[in-house]
């Protein structure tokens, strides 16, 4: 039997298995061991996810959020992280969990997420239910699944000794779904963690569309607005008269119509969430409201509340100014109006630093033989904690678990997709923590 030359055999191997060859060439021996350990740890990762999903941690169930946090605290401590709690009693929320691994070299990496979900104890959707490679349950993808992705990556780093000397901070809030107010208090230490980091990675759910993976390099902020109108009130037979004027509801309608017709621009939306008109308006922070009125009485007051989603601070300032102008100018006879704003989440504007960090993630993804992640359209994401640190550090968001149906009963996670995400993140963290600090 004739022998095939080694060069020919290598050529044949490359042609038949190009991905495997690229993978072998792109990963160092240590990186390859890192990746293998994630597959080995897969069943334990799913077991941890089931355990924490089965503990209700709705934002306002502070006891449940704390219970989830204590279970996670043990995981971080076993990895050699020092843990501490940031009290949030003053804003009526569960404390934040901080885990810190102090190192002597490399870039400083901040990993963050949240332990709470939108499902309070009153929700019928409470338990982890697995069906093959998928599971449903509250927070399975948003974002307890993301925390498991993070932990699996850190465990892999630990298994090959790559945590030694690394500078990594983990910050898990307990109120992302309804941030404690004021955010100057509830996000104070989180912002400081961002200021003291070189890179920040957020583990909100991975966005997948048409079979393609997307990472978030920009997301819009959230600002509430409150529009109040006052007018003369009296018998409806006098409506539009010089002495009575046009009433509060017509003025509210004029302003909202101008908002509708004139404010639109790319990457920005504005919504009217609630409108009331008549007299004795009462509106609670929860949204519960009441109002009185009769068909033969000109309404003396009206009120509307809503939100603005803007991509940059400049865009937000521009829209606020236009809304102020519409509200205060050309008021209908006998009426006056004012609008106030409350910034809840700042915008996370697209930056060169965020784009460069995505490029680093894609280098890791290619090395694994996995698809690259594209930058997500900011219109596809709501507000999130990433926005608070984005002004100070390069950020990538949406690095967590693949799933669907977030914020609704039936929320699910693709369990088979968890290892790939953990591998991407482990390799990215490994490489970031080996970069020389400036």
Domains of the chain plus CATH, in order, are: 14-219+348-432 (3.40.630.10), 222-345 (3.30.70.360)
SS3 category, 219: strand
Q: Residue 313 CA to chain centroid, in angstroms?
A: 18
Burial class (CB in 10 A: 0-12, 13-18, 19+), 262: exposed
d(CA 77, CA 154): 12
Task: Give the model's pLDDT for residue 382.
Answer: 75
Is residue 44 a contact partner of residue 148, using CB atoms and an 8 Å limit? Answer: no
Parallel, antiparallel, or unpaired: how do β-strands 269-283 and 289-292 relate?
Answer: antiparallel
SS (H, E, C) 417-438: HHHHHHHHHHHHHHHHCCCCCC
Cite the DSSP H helix spans in 368-409: 386-389
Q: In what order do the strands lie in the sheet containing 108-114?
A: 82-86, 96-101, 167-173, 108-114, 199-202, 394-396
Is residue 85 a contact partner of residue 66, using CB atoms and an 8 Å limit? Answer: no
If the chain, 438 residues long, is cut into consecutive pieces of 10 residues, what is the mean pLDDT of each piece? 42 42 68 96 97 97 98 98 98 98 92 97 96 97 98 98 95 95 95 98 96 95 96 97 97 98 95 96 87 96 96 94 95 97 92 97 96 93 89 96 95 97 97 81
């Amino acid at each position: 039997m004739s022998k095939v030359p080694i060069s020919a055999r290598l050529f044949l191997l490359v042609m038949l298995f190009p991905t495997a060859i690229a993978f072998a060439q792109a990963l160092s021996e240590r990186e390859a061991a890192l990746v293998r350990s994630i597959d080995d740890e897969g069943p334990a990762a799913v077991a941890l996810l089931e355990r924490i999903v089965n503990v209700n941690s709705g934002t306002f169930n502070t006891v449940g959020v704390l219970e989830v946090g204590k279970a996670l605290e043990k995981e971080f401590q076993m990895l050699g992280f020092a843990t501490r709690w940031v009290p949030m009693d003053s804003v009526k929320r569960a404390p934040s969990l901080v885990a810190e691994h102090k190192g002597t070299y490399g870039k400083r990496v901040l990993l963050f997420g949240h332990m709470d979900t939108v499902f309070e104890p009153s929700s019928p959707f409470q338990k982890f239910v697995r069906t093959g490679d998928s599971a449903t349950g509250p927070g399975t993808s948003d974002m307890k699944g993301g925390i498991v992705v993070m932990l699996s990556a850190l465990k892999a780093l630990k298994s090959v000794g790559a945590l030694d000397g690394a500078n990594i901070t983990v910050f898990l809030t307990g109120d992302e779904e309804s941030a404690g107010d004021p955010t100057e208090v509830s996000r104070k230490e989180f912002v400081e963690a961002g200021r003291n980091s070189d890179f920040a990675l957020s583990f909100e759910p991975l966005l997948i569309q048409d079979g393609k993976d997307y990472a978030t390099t920009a997301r819009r902020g959230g600002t509430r607005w409150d529009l109040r109108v006052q007018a003369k009130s009296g018998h409806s037979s006098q409506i539009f008269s010089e002495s009575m004027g046009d009433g509060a509801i017509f003025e509210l309608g004029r302003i909202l119509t101008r908002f509708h017709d004139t404010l639109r621009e790319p990457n920005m939306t504005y919504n009217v969430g609630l409108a009331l008109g008549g007299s004795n308006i009462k509106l609670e922070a929860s949204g519960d409201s009441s109002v009185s009125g009769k068909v033969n009485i000109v309404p003396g007051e009206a009120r509307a509340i809503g939100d603005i989603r803007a991509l940059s601070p400049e865009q937000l300032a521009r829209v606020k100014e236009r809304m102020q102008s519409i509200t205060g100018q050309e008021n209908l006879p006998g009426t006056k109006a004012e609008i106030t704003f409350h910034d809840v989440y700042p915008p996370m504007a697209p930056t060169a630093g965020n784009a460069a960090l995505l490029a680093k993630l894609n280098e890791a993804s290619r090395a694994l033989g996995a698809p690259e992640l594209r930058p997500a359209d900011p219109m596809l994401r709501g507000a999130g904690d990433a926005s608070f640190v984005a002004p100070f550090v390069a950020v990538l968001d949406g690095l967590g678990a693949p799933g669907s149906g977030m914020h609704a009963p039936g929320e699910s996670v693709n369990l088979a997709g968890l290892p790939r995400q953990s591998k991407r993140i482990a390799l990215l963290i490994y490489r970031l923590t080996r970069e020389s600090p400036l």
